[in-house]
Amino acid sequence: MREINKIIVHCSATREGDDIDVATIRGWHVNERGWSDIGYHYVIYLDGSIHKGRDIRIQGAHTKGHNKDSIGICYIGGVEEDGKTSKDTRTDAQKESLTKLLLELKTIDYCGAIIHSHSDFSNKDCPSFDATGEYKYISDYYGG
């Protein structure tokens, strides 16, 4: 198993309410970027359902310079309807599912991992909210 010390939260940078899926993101990453697969390990849909992306045992392609030792989670959304302005568009169901997934990952296999926002490592607004701060209690309490 890969040594994981970071769980990095992303947004799909899609308009609020746009309902896209793993296959769509996989298409962007494979067809437009030339990657071997979707870059994220998990994707959380608007309805809160959690879907697997890239196999968790395989290095992701979501945060330059930090893929080797991290897990990438992406929620659908992150941009206002204008398509340009960053916004925390998480639905209540997405918030609940993201917390659930982070707790599962931290307590089962990756207790030493720290939860981060993508923006901690990149000059981007992604994931359009402060995941590092919001989930610090999980990072701290569960072995971070």
Residues in the chain: 144
Q: Which of 10, 29, 41, 62 is catalytic?
A: 10
Q: Which of 29, 106, 126, 135 is catalytic?
A: 126
- To the query of whether residue 137 is one of the catalytic residues in this protein, the response is no
- To the query of whether residue 136 is one of the catalytic residues in this protein, the response is no
Radius of gyration of the chain (CA): 14
Q: Which of 6, 11, 29, 40 is catalytic?
A: 40
Q: Which of 11, 41, 118, 135 is catalytic?
A: 118
- To the query of whether residue 124 is one of the catalytic residues in this protein, the response is yes
Question: Whole-angstrom Cα distance, residue 104 to residue 4?
Answer: 14
In contact, 114 and 66? CB cutoff 8 Å: no
- To the query of whether residue 74 is one of the catalytic residues in this protein, the response is no
Q: Which of 51, 87, 95, 124 is catalytic?
A: 124
- To the query of whether residue 87 is one of the catalytic residues in this protein, the response is no
| The two three-digit tokens of residue 121, written as one number | 């490592």
Nearest-5° Cα angle at 48, 16 to 72: 85
**Catalytic residue set:** 10, 40, 118, 124, 126
